[in-house]
Each structure stands twice: as structure tokens, then as C-alpha cells.
Amino acid sequence: MCRGERAPGLRRLSGPGIILALVATLTPLSSSTRATEPLPLTRYFDNTAVSDDGRPDTADFDGSGASLSAQDLTAAGWTRGRALTVQGARLTWPHGEPGEPDNVRAAGQPVRVQGKGDALAFLVAGTGGADVSGGGTVSYVDGTQSTYRLTAPDWRAGPLGGKTVALPHVNTPGGQLTQRARLFVVTVPITRGREVASVRLPYAVDLHVFALSVRPDAAGWTGSWAAPTSTYATVGPWTDRTLRLVVHTSAGGPRVRLRFDNTFASAPVRIGNATVAVQATGATPTGTPVPLTFRGARGAELPAGAQAFSDPLDFAVPADANLLVSFHLPGTVTAAPLHRLTQQRSYVSEPGDHTADSTPAPYTSVLTTWPLLTGVDVGAGPGSVVVLGDSITDGEGSTLEANRRWPDVLADRLRAQHTVPPYGVLNQGISANRVLTDRYPGDGVSADSGGVSALHRLDRDVLAQTSARTAIVFQGVNDLRNGATADNVIAGLLELAERARARGVRVLVATIGPCGGEARCTSAVDGQRAAVNTWIREEAASGSGSGFDGVLDFDAVLRDPARPTRLLAAYDSGDHLHPGDAGLAALAGAVDLGALVP
């Protein structure tokens, strides 16, 4: 039995087990688990996590008297009863006052939860000093059931790279500590197409649940463009400015919706009016920009760590075209979540709301990042292919403003044929990204734009992406160039595959390309690279427990036959690590389109 998991029946116990049995008997948990009919989660609340800074003794989240600061939560935009959208799921922060019960310790309670979708979303944290896990059951209206396993990272020690929000303080009876408190949104798979009736929580000591909901399936939508948040960085400052971002579509459709994310933030950000248009040239649209709404309103406030989808808009989105997404920032923004490497110019206006402007005149500054905007979805379509990668996928070495990143060329191929569905292609590459370790620390303002690890961003950047059907994993060279072993990388790739396939996402893995001649690509690194590639070709390709559905041999595509540790000269951008346009086109051309079909 895993740490933190408690069996529902009686057992003969000795030593420390007696203490656990007594705790289970004496706390309110035992009475709540006797409920036979599912109840709303709030009916089970038996723990108080939030205290007012002036009265820290009114809460005891972890059993030692420590708690979350109500003032910190308010500063982050997490106010009482507020609905938050995270990873596409709508979760409501508890309504109670500071000092009132606001979460439940998981002990097998049957919770009334309804809806159809692709996942359950839990707002959770552990309080045992380490991850705490347990298994639960989902019951459906048709009488069937499925099981799940939920893991909650610790509220003070869990990875900042995977958290939803971090708060700057911890309240204790002895005073406030300047330590990060974390809260996490964790999703688990459910059976698609079946309506959930109830969820039985795990039996897990120290696993606290604040909110729970069914994440709706993105049926009827295809992801056309996406960019992962690579850092939280200093910007502007922008006060009363309009950003006009240029993004390139893969799939087209008759409707559009946009996604904005306040990932890694510590404070809310207000988006005022927003519009969408097709680009003519530069900051000039082909016609009058069309206004967007958010739950019927012109604009939205994004709490720290949360996101907002615009309402569906009847707007013909062309495939293989540039869109202009304009949004007004009425307040002062000094730092923002953004994607650093764009290979594309966007624009910042003079003061004022210029979202509806049909001329480029107000847009006097050039922007080379994508702040806040993380996705463009189009109506209908067959779904999306998501590419999880590093700088080679992100477009380093490709021609500026030419959309020659290899996922762009893959999208070109999909549109030009009729054998397999013309999937949208979502580029989730981050320059300098690694499989195993975070470059960006996951919290606070930073100049490092290498993102959190693939393991920490998989849920957000792959599994929560719109209508993801297949994922391509092309990473590992940055881990090896910075001291990781082949075994380390293989273990990380295996975990990525296991987690993605558990969600019904098809997973392809690519061999690591050659980089001989680049400063960090020593002969020792190349030996480790060769070992990873051998494993991919032999073990991953065989499907014998690897979790992968197919292999793309990108190393064979890129290498010089005469010097296989190096890029073919015609493919080398000049730094011996990143392919140029010709090499990127060769990667896209090597993808077996049939392997993308689930």
C-alpha cells in the first residue's frame, strides 16, 4: 500500500499503525464515510486551511497549526466563492469565511459530481511533507464505474513548476512565515461519453480536496494554434496599452475561440476589450477587427494561475493564415506569463484601447514575445496533434516570420492530403526546455525562459490542449548536454508516455538528433545520446511495455552519413545543434502521417 493510503476495512495493526487507526476513529472522517448517498463536496468539509492574518489560530491545515493566508489568496484573485478555470476545468474556491471549514480530508467520501467530459479536475494539496496518493472510483449514470489514482503534491514542498498558484506566506500561531504555500489542480481520466453521477474520494491521509468538477470535452473544437508559457518575465511596463499579437493557424474553421492564461502569476491581470482579425500585413487587418466576449462580457479578469476562454464567435478562420489578436490592458502590467521565442513580430500600441483599429498607426512598438495568449481553437475539425519539444520544435534556426518551424510544415502536409484527417498542429516547443528539470523555477519573475520540465508541464501543455489526439515527444538533448544520463532521460520519456496514454492520447517518440561540433555536445554526451536512441529504436519501437505507439527516427533524418555524430551540412543552421529551414522541412517530411491516427 502506498504511503498515505488507508484501507477502508479493519486490519490488525501494530506499532505506528495503531496511531493511524486511532486518528481515523477519532476524527470526523469516519462519520462522513458512512454516507451511502453522495453529497456535495462542501457537506464533507472537515478541515480549515485558510486564516486571517490577524487570527492565524483559527485554522489548522496541516495538524501543526499552519494555514494559508486569506489576504494572500485575495491578492492572487482567489476570493471566496470565485469560479476559476484551470486546465479547461471550472472549479469554485470555497465560499466560507477565513477560519471556517473549507476542504475535506480524503477518506472515501461519496461526492455528488455530474457532467460529461474527458477528466475529473481536483483542486488539492497534501500536508504530509511529500506527495500523497490514493485510489478512488467514478460512478456513471448508466451504472458503470471506473477507477482513478489521485496524487496531491505537498502544500509546502511540492514542485513550483507544477503548481496552480503559490502564495508568499504561511500563517502559524507563532507568526507569519515567508515561505511559499502551493495549491495544485490535478486531473484524472474518466470514461468519455458517459455522464458522471458521483465520485468516491481516495482513502489517503493528508490529501485535502478543496474543489472537484468534470472537465468538459472539447467536442466540436480543434486546436489551430498554441504556444506554451515559458516564463513569467518583466514587461513594459504597460499601462493602458493594446497588444496586437500575430499568430499562425494550422487548421481553419467557421468559428473561433481564444485562450488566455495567467500561468505562474502571483496577481490577477485584467484583459479589457479584445478582437480578432485576419492579418493583411504588419499590424494591419484585412477588415474591421471583430470583438470577442468572455461569458458575455467585454473583457475578463484572470486570477493568478487561471485562464479564460473567449465565447464562441462566428468568424471564418482561414487555414495557414496569420491572425491578429488584439487585447487591451487597462491597468498597469509590469510582469506577465509569456512565450519567449516566437520568430514573429507582434505589436504594442500607444496609450488607449486600439483593439478595433483598422490601421496600424497606433501600433508604434514591436513585440517579439507572446504574452498571455496561449491558444486559438476553431470550430469543427478532427482534433489536434500536439508536439512537445525544445528549441528545435520552437523554431530556433528557422527564418523569421516565414512559419517554417517543423510543426508548421507538418501542418502543411496534413492540409495537402486526403488520406488521414487534416489535424490541427499545436507547437508546444520551448527553447532550452528539458524533460527532467525546470529551467524557469516555476514561480516569480525570471529572466530564464526555458520553461518548467516536460514532466511538470505535460498536463497543461499536452493533456489539457483542445481535442488532443496524438502527442509527438521530441526532447532530451538539453538534458544530456547538461549532465543527465541516458537512463535518466529514458525514465522521463517512459513517464511521459505512461501519463499521456492513460488519458487516451496516442504517443510517438522521436530519436534525438546529432549535435557534434556544438560546445556542450561532447563525445561523452554523444554516447549517452546514442544509448537513448538505441533504446527508442529497439524498446520503444517494439511497444513492449514502453507505452509508445510509434517511433520517428529524426536522428537518421538529420545526420551526416559520413559523420553520423553531426548534422548534415545542408541541414545545419550554423550552430551544429539547430537545423535550418531545410532540416526542419526534412523532419516534417519524415513523419508517417498514418501514425498520427489514433
Q: Tens digit of pLDDT for each residue in 359-413?
A: 999 999 999 999 999 999 999 999 999 999 999 999 999 999 999 999 999 999 9
Whether the pLDDT of residue 20 is over 80: the answer is no
- 559 pLDDT more than 90: yes
| Virtual torsion, Cα 398, 403, 405, 406, nearest 10 deg | -130
Q: How far apart are CA 167 and CA 23, in angstroms?
A: 29
Angle at 23 between CA 21 and CA 26, to 5 degrees: 110
C-alpha cell at 157: 514542498
CA distance 122 to 115: 14
Q: Which of 272-297 are b and which e, b meaning 16 or more Cβ less than 10 Å from the residue's Cβ?
A: bbbbbbbbeeebbbeeebbebebeee
Average pLDDT, integer, range 94-107: 98
CB atoms within 10 A of CB 561: 7
Closest Cα partner for 289 from 223, 348, 359? 359
Q: How far apart are CA 365 and CA 348, in angstroms?
A: 5
Three-class DSSP category at 596:
helix
Domains of the chain (ranges plus CATH)? 16-215 (no CATH), 225-339+351-360+367-381 (2.60.120), 382-598 (3.40.50.1110)
Q: What is the pLDDT of residue 8?
A: 32
pLDDT score, position 469: 97
Q: How many angstroms separate the CA atoms of 98 and 211, rounded?
A: 16
3-state secondary structure at position 413: helix
Q: What is the pLDDT of residue 36?
A: 79
pLDDT at 581 over 80: yes
Q: How far is CA 554 from CA 148, 206, 502, 559, in A?
A: 35, 45, 26, 9
Contact 106, 202 (CB under 8 A): yes
- Backbone φ and ψ for 237, nearest 5 degrees, come out as -70, 145
DSSP reduced 3-state for 132: strand
d(C-alpha 258, C-alpha 272), whole Å: 14
- Is a pLDDT exceeding 80 seen at residue 466? yes
pLDDT score for 545: 64
Q: What per-residue confidence (pLDDT) applies to 33?
A: 42
Contact between residue 580 and residue 573 where contact means Cβ atoms under 8 Å apart: yes
pTM of structure? 0.93
Report d(CA 103, CA 48) in Å as an integer: 7
Q: Give the pairing type, strands 468-474 and 269-271.
A: unpaired
Ramachandran class of 192: left when φ > 0, alpha when ψ lies in -120 to 50, beta otherwise: beta
Does residue 582 register a pLDDT over 50?
yes
CA 66, 164, 132, 49 torsion: positive or negative? Answer: positive
Q: What is the 3-state secondary structure (H, E, C) of 110-123?
A: EEEEEECCCEEEEE
Q: Max CA-CA distance within the chain? A: 78
User: What average pLDDT does this structure show over 19-25?
Assistant: 27
Enter the C-alpha cell of residue 377.
Answer: 481553437
Going by C-beta distance under 8 Å and a sequence separation of 6 or more, which residues neighbour residue 491?
none
Q: What is the mean pLDDT of the chain?
A: 93
Collapsed DSSP state (helix, strand, coil) of residue 106: strand
Pick from 421, 511, 505, 446: nearest CA to 474: 511
**Separation CA 424–CA 386 (nearest Å):** 8
CA–CA separation, 506 and 490 (whole Å): 18
Share of the chain above pLDDT 90, in %: 92
Q: Can you tell me the distance from the alpha carbon of 290 to that of 275, in angstroms, rounded to the nearest whole number?
A: 5
Give the pLDDT confidence of 261-295 residue by residue, as tens digits. Answer: 999 999 999 999 999 999 999 999 999 999 999 99
Greater confidence (31 vs 218) lies with 218
Q: Which residues contact 30 (CB under 8 A, 6 or more apart)?
A: 24, 107
Phi-psi region of 24 (alpha: psi -120 to 50; beta: other; left: phi over 0): alpha
Question: Over the Cα atoms of the chain, what is R_g?
Answer: 24
pLDDT more than 70, % of the chain: 94
Whether a cis peptide bond, with omega within 30° of 0, leads into 237 is yes
